Structure formats: C-alpha cells, structure tokens
Amino acid sequence: MSYKKEIEKFIVDGYKNVCSISYLRERKFNRSKMPLQTDGKHSFVLKNREDNFITTPDKNFKYHRWAGSLKSSQAFAYNIFSGVNDREFEFSMEVFNRPAQIDVKIEDIETQTIELFEVKMFEIINKEKIEFENKYDNKSEYKYLSEDVADAFIKFKNEVINHFDGQKIYGGGIKQLCSHLLGILNIMNKPKYKDKKFKLYSLCFDIEFSDKFGQDINNYRETLSAFKCLIDKFLKDIKVDSRVEYCGFLSAVDYVVCEAKKELLGKENYEYVMERYLYLL
C-alpha cells in the first residue's frame, strides 16, 4: 500500500469509528450502518463539510478550503478545542496588509496568558523550501514595529532561511510560524494586550500509524527544536522574552491523553478525539 493510501485508510477508519454528529447525539447508534458520504471525487473528503466537525460551528466560522477533508487540521483543532470555554478559532493578528489567522486562541485569565495553537496533521509530510514574499524584506511594511525591531525581525527571518537551506523540511510550516510570531509582536503592545503574556505552540498530530509517518513526525519535531533555538535568541535580543514564548513541538497525544485535559476539553470532545484520531478508546 502506498504512503498516500496508508494515510487515507487511517483517517477514513477513524471517522467511521465516530460518524461525527450522530456519534454524539446517540452514543449507542449502530455506526456500521451509516455510510461514509464523500464528495464523489475523493475517498477522504466529505460531501457535507459540517459532518467533519463534532458539532456544527457557528455561522461566522471561517472554513478552510479543505474543511471537509478527513485530513483537515482545522477540523482536528475544532474537534479538540470546541468544548473549551472562551476559546477562539481562526484568531486574527495583523501582518502587513492582511491578518494572519492562527487555529486556536485560549486566554488564561488567572495568569493573564494568551495561548495560541497552530495545529498540524498531514501537512508536515510536504517537503518544501521556506519562502517569504518580498514585503518581508521591506522595512516600510513593518508599520506596527519600531525600526530596531523591524531590522531584527528581518535579520531573524534571514537566519531561519539560511539555517534550513538545503534541508528537506516542511518549510511552509516554518514560514507560517514566523508570520504568527510577527503577528504577536504587532499586537502585544496594543491596549487590549499590553498586560498579557503570549505562548505559541505547534500542536501536531503524532500517532505513528506507519514507519514513514513516524519519520516525518520526527523530522518536523527536530525542525521545530532547531527553530525554537532561533526564536529564543531573537526574542531575547529584542527584550520581549519575558512576555513572548515559543513552546515548540507539542504532541497531540501528550496533550490530549491526560486526565486533566478531559475536564478542560470536555468529556465529549475528549472521547471523540481519542476514538476518531488517536484510536485510544
């Protein structure tokens, strides 16, 4: 079986374990009698994208193009966090002339900390160069930063490119994290956030259902470890390391499979994710 087919089989079988909304409404529902309704073009894309989500998102939810795909990291993020109080999906932060949207924002009122989660599933198998638009080199585009910080960010961005040059990594993910970091720097001193701390996480699906996916997971984990070192130095250099932290690779298994998380995520979300994605119920 090809790697592509291994992935598709894994995610289709997981979906069949729960059959989405019907699973929640009637836990004793005979799921084996419910067919997988696809879009007719792909074996892993649902006819109705809403069926990919544990509950129907609100009417203002910003669906990704492939939200109906069983490989969707957006659906994975929603299915983990939709039971959490005061969570926000597709949280926007201004980056140049358009917002960068990160999958999940949770604010811890007690510690005055904003936790931001960039969630990944199978995007990490793509190996590509780190590429930035030309505007990232134009200091005049950095309207929310001081000149010194803008210079430092451009230098940091170039160091990231040079560090990973020639390596087979998921470069798109690194570029995206740089954009999120810039977004945090742009908003952190606005009145709404000036007393807050920020933590940025790379939450990654990491069930090693095949040797090849295990290799891809380890590749991305090592990539993010090296990337964290570069970010740590940059944040220290611009003297914001007491307020902004990149926490690096966060295992979805380690994050979800914890008794304390059942209360945070909610019993229904916890069990749904455990059975559909992690195969642990």
pLDDT, tens digit (0-9, with 9 covering 90-100), for 80-115: 999 998 899 999 999 998 888 999 999 999 999 999
Backbone angles phi, psi at 230, to 5 degrees: -65, -40
| Residue 13 is assigned to a structural domain of this protein | yes
Q: What is the DSSP string of 52-114?
A: GSSSPPPTT----TTTTBTT-HHHHHHHHHTTSTTEEEEEEEEETTEEEEEEEEEEETTTTEE
Residues 196-223, mean pLDDT to the nearest whole number: 97
| Residue 123 is assigned to a structural domain of this protein | yes
List CB contacts of 109: < 8 A, sequence separation 6 or more: 86
Percent over 90 (pLDDT), the chain? 80
What is the average pLDDT score of the chain?
Answer: 91
Residues 167-172, mean pLDDT to the nearest whole number: 97
pLDDT confidence tier of residue 160, bands split at 50, 70 and 90? very high
| Residue 87 is assigned to a structural domain of this protein | yes
| Residue 111 is assigned to a structural domain of this protein | yes
| Residue 281 is assigned to a structural domain of this protein | no
pLDDT given for residue 26 in this prediction: 52
Distances (CA, A) of 264 to 26, 84, 170, 248, 255: 23, 6, 31, 21, 11
* Domains identified in the chain, total number: 1
| Residue 150 is assigned to a structural domain of this protein | yes
Q: Which amino acid, 26?
A: E
Q: Residue 204, exposed/middle/buried by CB under 10 A (0-12, 13-18, 19+)?
A: buried
pLDDT confidence tier of residue 123, bands split at 50, 70 and 90? very high
Where are the alpha helices (H) located in the chain, listed in sequence order?
A: 3-18, 21-25, 73-81, 147-164, 171-187, 211-237, 252-256, 259-265, 267-276
Can you give the residue range of the structural domain that contains 67?
A: 3-276
| Residue reference for tokens 């059959």 | 19
Q: What pLDDT digit, counting tens, does each position of 8-53 carry? A: 999 999 998 887 445 545 544 444 445 678 877 888 999 999 999 9
| Residue 154 is assigned to a structural domain of this protein | yes
Q: What is the pTM of this model?
A: 0.93
Of 88-97, 149-158, 235-244, the range with the lowest mean pLDDT is 88-97
pLDDT given for residue 30 in this prediction: 42
Q: How far apart are CA 265 and CA 231, in angstroms?
A: 29
Q: Are 151 and 200 in contact (CB under 8 A)?
A: no
Residues 212-218, mean pLDDT to the nearest whole number: 97
> Cβ atoms within 10 A of the Cβ of 231, count?
21
Q: How far apart are CA 232 and CA 99, in angstroms?
A: 24
Q: How far apart are CA 273 and CA 206, in angstroms?
A: 13
| Residue 147 is assigned to a structural domain of this protein | yes
pLDDT given for residue 35 in this prediction: 62
Q: How far apart are CA 251 and CA 239, in angstroms?
A: 29
